[in-house]
Structure 1
Amino acid sequence: MGPVLFSLSLSRLGLWASGLILALGFLKLMCLLVRRQSLARAMDSFTGPPTHWLFGHALEMQKTGSLDKMVSWAHQFPYAHQLWIGPFQGFLNIYEPDYVKAVYSRGDPKASDVYDFFLPWIGNGLLVLHGPKWFQHRKLLTPAFHYDVLKPYVALFASSTRAMLDKWEEKAREDKSFDIVCDVGHMALDSLMKCTFGKQDGGLGHRESSYYQAVYSLTLMMQQRLEQFLYHNDFIYWLTPHGRRFLRDCQVAHDHTDQVIKERKAALQDEKEQEKIQNRRHLDFLDILLGARDENEIKLSDAELRAEVDTFMFEGHDTTTSAISWFLYCMALYPEHQDRCREEVREILGDRDSFQWDDLSKMTYLTMCIKESFRLYPPVPQVYRQLSKPVNFVDGRSLPAGSLISLHIYALHRNSSVWPQPEVFDPLRFSSENVTGRHPFAFMPFSAGPRNCIGQQFAMNEVKVVTGLCLLRFEFVPDPSRPPIKNLQLVLKSKNGIHLHLKPLGPGSGK
C-alpha cells in the first residue's frame, strides 16, 4: 500500500472512529434525557425550589450552605420536595417522619447513583448490597455485634483514647486552641485496627502504617469526589491524578486486607495457632467473619470477606470521628452540660481509672447529651434509596418503583413540628418521659428499619468510652474566633476543622 493510500485509510478510520464516538455520546445523552423525564414525571405531584437548567439545585446550595438551605426548604415545602443535583440526577428529598416511615420501614436498596462511588474500595459489602445477598451477609455479620463480642472492646477503646489524650496534654501546654478532628480520626482508626485485625499496642509496622494511611486518604478522597461535579463521571475521574491516587490507595488497602485474611486462614489450619486465637482475650471482627456460616454451611468468599472488612473500616472510622468531634464541640458550647456529664462519669468510676462493660448502661445523662449532639449534628446527614416498588404517602401522594429518595436526616432532626425550638441543645428531649410518644422515625442517626446500621451498638459504646475519658482529663472551651463551618458530605464534617481550647484537669481527674 502506497503512502497516499495508507494516509487516506487512516483518515477514513479516524472519521469512522469520531463518528462512532459522537453516535455513542448522542445515545448516552438521549438515555440521560429519557431518564430525567421519567424521574421528573414520577415527582410531578411534588413542588420544589426553582432549578438551574444545568446545575439543578447545586449552585443554590453552594451559595448559601446546603445544610441551612435544606432546613429552609423543608419549612417552605412541608413533607418533601424535588432535589436535582445536576441536570439528570433527581431525588425526592424527604424530612417528615411519616414520609420517612413509608420508605425506611421497608428495605429498598441504596441508590446506585451515589453508592457506586464506593465500589472500587469497599466492593459489594453490606453498605451497597441488596436483595437475598444483603440478607445473607446481614445474617452472617450479626453475631459479630453481639454484646459478648463487644464487651472486651471497651478496653481497646480506652487504650486508643488514652494515647490521644496524652498527645493532647502536650498540645494543651501551648495554651491555644487546636483542631481536634485529625487526632480523633487517628484514634478511631487505631481502635478499629485493634477491633478488626487484633492489632496490638506498641505502634504500627510498615504494612499496617501503609494501610492506616491508605484508609485515611481514601475517606478524604471519597468526600472530595462527591463535591466535584465532573468527578462523578467515571471516565473523567480515572484519568485525573486524584482518581489514579484513589485507585493506588484502594490497592494498598486491598493488599493489606487480603494478606491478613490469608495469614489468619493459614493460622487456623494449625492447631496450636488456632488454640492461641481461641484463647485470646477477645475475638476480633475478622475472627468472627472467618467462622461465620449460614444454615447451609456456606461461608463468605475471600472477596466477600475483604468487602465486609473494608466496609467496616470505612463506616466505623469516619462516622465515629464525626460523632465524637461534634459532641466535644457541643460540650464546649454548653459548659453546664459538660460539668454534669463529667460528674456522672466520676460517680460511676469512683476510685477506678478505667471503664467496665456494666458502666456504659449507667451513663444516663452522658447518653442523653450524645443523642442530642447526634440530633443537631448527625454523623451521616443524608442517605439515599431507590424504590424497588411503589410507595404511597400519608397525604395521598405516591411515587413509582425506580424513583430516587433522599432522606435529609439533618433537616428531619430540625423539623419544628417534632422538635420544639430545634436549634436549642436540650438533652432532656431524650429523657424516658419525653421519648414516649415521639414518632419512631423522627430520630435517625443510625437510619432505621431493616437496613439500619448493624454497628450502632459498637459505635455508641465507643463514643461513650471516648467522650467519658476525654471529659475526665480536660475541660473543653470553644474558640469564638474559629467557629466550625458545617459541610454536607456523606459524613458531617467542618470545612475548617473543630478548634477547641483544652484545659487539663490535673491529678485525680481520671488520668
Structure 2
Amino acid sequence: MGAMLMSILVGLVVLILTYVVIRLFTFIRWYKKIKKVLSHFPGPKPHWLFGNALQIGCYHDFVCRNHEEYVEKQNAKAYTFWLFINRPILQLTHPDTIKVLMKSNAPKAKSGAGYLFVLPWLGDSLLVSDGPKWERNRRLLTPGFHFSVLNGYFKVYNDVADTLLEKFASSCKGGKYIEIFQLASLATLDTLLQCSLSYKGNVQLVGENHPYVKAVKRLVTLVLARALNIFLYNPILFRLSSTGREFYKLCDFVHQFSEDIIAKRRTELANNKDTEKKKQLDFLDILLTATDDNGNGLTDEEIRNEVDTFMFAGHDTTASALSWSMYSLGKHKDIQDKVYREVREVVGDKQYIDSDDISKMKYLSMFVKEVLRCHSPVPTVSRMLQEPCVVEGVEFPEGSLFGLSMFDVHHNSHIWPEPWEFKPERFEEDKHHEMDPYSFVPFSAGPRNCIGQAFAQHEEKVLIARIVNRFEISLDPDHKVEHFMEVVMRAKNGIMVNFKERS
C-alpha cells in the first residue's frame, strides 16, 4: 500500500513538472515571437517568470492603477501585461483600438483565458464557439430574441418583480438595510428559468437552498478559483483536485436538470403539435423548433449548452446592473426623483409595466445607460486572433491575445468628460450619437455582440421602474461601497440598501 501511494505521488510530481516545463517552453517560444510587437505599447514591468502576477494583489486595484498610469497620464489606447506563463495580453482601452477586434469575427479566447474553464459546463455554445458553427447557431438563436418574442416576457418580469418587492418590504421593516446583490441575483435567475424553460420553482422564495441555484452559484466560484491557481489550468490536475471533482459533479447536476426539461418538452412537441402554437413561446420552444437551411435542427446537447449559457451569462450580469442601479438611485436623490416622476407620469396607478410603458420612459433609459457606463457589469472580454491583425499600426500574429476593456473605455477621460461622475444626461436625445459608437459598449459590439441585450435591458427597466414606483431608496451612510471586478462588476463588501414604502 505504501509503495502504491509513493508511486502515485511520484507520478503526480512528474506530471506537474512535465506540465510546467511544457508550459514554460511554449511560453518562451511565444514570447520571443511577440516581444518585439508588444514593445510598441506601455505596460507594467513584468517579472521574467511570473509576469505581472505578483503585482496584482487585488485585480481591480491592478486595473485601476494601469488605467491611471497608461490610459489617463499617457493617453495610451492599449497597454500590455501578462500573468504567470500565459500569453501576454494587450488590453484595449480606447474606441480606436477596441473597435478593431469588435468589428472582426475573432473568436473568444478558449485557451489562455477564462473561457477555457467554463467549457465543461457550457460546452461549445454561442458564447465560445467560432467559425461556421457560431454563424449557424447565431442565426438559429436570433429569432428567440425577436421583439415579438421578448414582448411576451413582460408578464414574467412583472411576476418576478412582485416577489422581489415583497421581499424588499418584509426585509426592510424598521429602517433596516439589506445587501442587494444576492436578492437581485435570485430574481434574475428566476426570470431566466421562467423565460428559457418555463420553469417555476419558487427560486426567490427557496433562495440559496434551491439545488439548481446552489449549483450555479458554486460553479461560478469554482471557475474563479481555478483561474487563480496556475496548477489547476491543466485539465488532468484539475480533475484530480478536490475543486475539480466538485466542479464536474455540479456540471453533471446542472446538465441533468436541463436535459430532463428538454426531453420532456421534446416529447410534448412530438405528441402535440399545437404546443408549437401556444400563446407564448419560451427560449426552449424556439431552440427545439429551429432549423437551418438544410432542415437540420440543434441537437439536445447543443440546446442544453445554449440554455446553460443563457443562465450563466444572463443572471449575474443583470443582477450587477440592477444592484448598481439601486446604488445610483440611493446615492443621487435628485436622479431618483426624476426617475420616479417619469414612472408615475407613464404608468400612474397601474401596477404592471409593459413594453409600451418602457418605450415612453426616456429618462429611465438614459439612467440605465449611465449605470452600464459607470459601473460596467461586464468589465472586460477577451479575443484571440485566428489571422494577423493590425492594431495602432502594429501587426499582431495569429494567436495573439487581447483584452477588450469596457471598463477602461467607459472611464477614459479623453473620451468621456468627468468619467467618474454619474450623469444620465450624457445620453440625452442624440448627444451620444455624436460620439464614436464604440465609446459605449456595455454589451460588446459588432458581430459578436450580446444576443440577449434587449432582453436584459427590458428586464432591468421593468424591475427598476416597479421598485422606484413603490419605494424610496436610500443607502446605509455607514457602509462603504467599492467596485470589485470578477466575472461581473460587484461591490467589494456589498451594497446596503433600504427600501421604504412611499406614502
Task: Work out whether the TM-score is over 0.5.
Answer: yes
Q: Which residue does the alignment assign to 1:509?
A: none
Q: Which residue of 1 aligns with 2:191?
A: 191
- Residues 214-223 or 253-262, more deviating: 214-223
CA contact (8 A) 1:482 1:499 kept: yes
Match of 1:281 in 2: 279
Partner residue of 1:70 out of 49, 66, 70: 66
Q: 1:349 to 1:403 in 2, by over 3 A?
A: same
Q: Which residue is equivalent to 2:475?
A: 478
The alpha-carbon distance between structure 1 residues 174 and 235, as it changes in their structure 2 partners (threshold 3 A), is: farther
Instruction: Find the counterpart in structure 2 of residue 4 from structure 1.
Output: none
Q: Note if contact 1:172-1:504 (Cα within 8 Å) is conserved in structure 2.
A: no
The answer (yes or no) to whether the contact 2:178–2:496 under 8 Å persists in 1 is: yes
Paired position in structure 2 for 1:407: 404
The answer to whether the Cα contact below 8 Å between 1:149 and 1:283 also exists between their aligned partners in 2 is yes
Task: Specify the structure having the higher radius of gyration (Cα).
Answer: 1
- 1:201 Cα offset (Å): 7.1
Maintained 8 Å contact 1:67/1:488: no
In the alignment, does 2:426 pair up with 1:429? yes
Answer yes or no: is 1:140 the counterpart of 2:140.
yes
The equivalent residue for 1:360 is 358
Deviations 1:353-394 (A, max 9, x none): 11122111111001101100111111100110011222223x
How far 1:489 moved relative to its partner?
1.5
Equivalent pair of 2:24/2:85 in contact (CA under 8 Å): no
**C-alpha deviations, 1:252-295, integer Å up to 9, x for none?**
10001111111111111112xx42x3454311100000000011
Unaligned runs of 5+ in 1: 1-6, 507-511
Q: Mean alpha-carbon deviation: is it higher for 400-409 or for 231-240?
A: 231-240
- Residue 490 (structure 1) aligned with residue 487 (structure 2): yes
Which of residues 89, 93, 96 is equivalent to 2:94?
96
- Per the TM alignment, residue 343 of structure 1 is displaced from its structure 2 partner at its CA by 0.9
Are 2:24 and 1:29 aligned?
yes
* 1:101 shift after superposition: 1.4
Provide the rounded CA distance (Å) in 2 between the counterparts of 1:159 and 1:24.
Answer: 51
In the alignment, which of 413, 418, 427 is matched to residue 416 of structure 1? 413
Deviation at residue 74 of structure 1 after TM alignment: 1.8
Contact kept? 1:35, 1:88, Cα under 8 Å: no
Residue range with higher mean Cα deviation, 136-145 or 225-234: 225-234
Per-residue CA deviations over 1:392-436 (Å, capped at 9, x if unaligned) read: 23x423322221111111111011111001111111111123113
Shift of 1:116: 0.8
Hey, what does 1:46 align to over in structure 2? 41
* 2:289 aligned partner: 291
Give the letter aligned to residue 397 of structure 1.
V
Structure 1 stretches (4+) deviating beyond 6 angstroms?
Answer: 10-21, 203-206
Q: 1:269 to 1:172 in 2, by over 3 A?
A: same
Q: Which moved more, 1:88-97 or 1:369-378?
A: 88-97
SS at match of 1:432: coil
For residues 388 and 78 of structure 2, the distance between their equivalents in structure 1, rounded to whole angstroms, comes to 16
- Give the aligned partner of residue 325 of structure 1: 323
Q: In structure 2, what residue type is equivalent to 1:470?
A: I
Pick aligned residue for 2:56 from 61, 66, 77: 61
- The CA deviation string for residues 59-78 of structure 1, in whole angstroms up to 9 with x for no partner, is 33325713422321322441
Alignment of 1:340-359 (within 5 A): 340-359=338-357
Query: Quick one: which amino acid aligns to residue 258 of structure 1?
Result: E
Q: Structure 1 residue 227: deviation in Å?
A: 4.0
Secondary structure of the corresponding residue to residue 500 of structure 2: strand
TM-score by length of 1: 0.90
Q: Which moved more, 1:183-192 or 1:396-405?
A: 396-405
Change in Cα spacing, 1:145 to 1:386, as seen in structure 2 (3 Å) is: same
Moved more, 12-21 or 50-59: 12-21
Distance 1:189 1:69 in 2: 34
Match of 1:152 in 2: 152
Alignment of 1:299-310 (within 5 A): 299-310=297-308
Provide closer, same or farther for how the CA distance between residues 333 and 279 of structure 1 changes in structure 2, counting only shifts above 3 A: same
CA distance in 1, matches of 2:189, 2:488: 15
CA drift at 1:21: 7.6
- Alpha-carbon deviation of 1:440? 0.9
- Cα deviations by residue, 1:305-359 (Å, 9 ceiling, x for unpaired): 1111101111111111111111111111111111100111111112311112211
TM-superposed CA distance for 1:503, in Å, is 1.6
Q: Give the Cα–Cα distance (whole angstroms) in 2 for the partners of residues 360 and 132 of structure 1.
A: 36
Q: Residues 390 and 400 of structure 1 are in contact (CA less than 8 Å); yes or no, is this contact kept in structure 2?
A: yes
Asked if structure 2 preserves the Cα contact closer than 8 Å seen for 1:485 and 1:494, the reply is yes
C-alpha deviation, 1:162, in angstroms: 1.4
Which residue does 1:375 correspond to in 2? 373
1:432 to 1:245, Cα distance in 2 relative to 1, 3 A: same
Task: Give 1:202 shift.
Answer: 5.6
Match of 1:92, SS state, is strand
Matched residue type, 1:284: D
Amino acid at match of 1:384: S
Distance change in 2, residues 1:193/1:424 (3 Å): same
Cα 1:174/1:135, change in 2 over 3 Å? same
Aligned positions of 1:102-117 closer than 5 A: 102-112=100-110, 113-114=112-113, 115-117=115-117
Checking the alignment, whether the CA contact within 8 Å between 1:33 and 1:88 is kept in structure 2 is: no
8 A contact 2:72–2:414 mirrored in 1: no
SS in 1 for 2:82: strand
TM-score, normalised via structure 2 length:
0.92
Q: Is the 8 A contact 1:108 1:385 kept in 2?
A: yes
Which residue of the partner structure matches residue 501 of structure 2?
504
Contact 1:108 1:386 in 2 (8 A): yes
Q: How far did 1:23 drift? A: 5.8
User: Does structure 1 conserve the Cα–Cα contact (< 8 Å) formed by 2:23 and 2:85?
Assistant: no
Supply the distance in 1 between the matched residues of 2:361 and 2:90 (Cα, whole angstroms).
38
State the number of aligned residues: 493
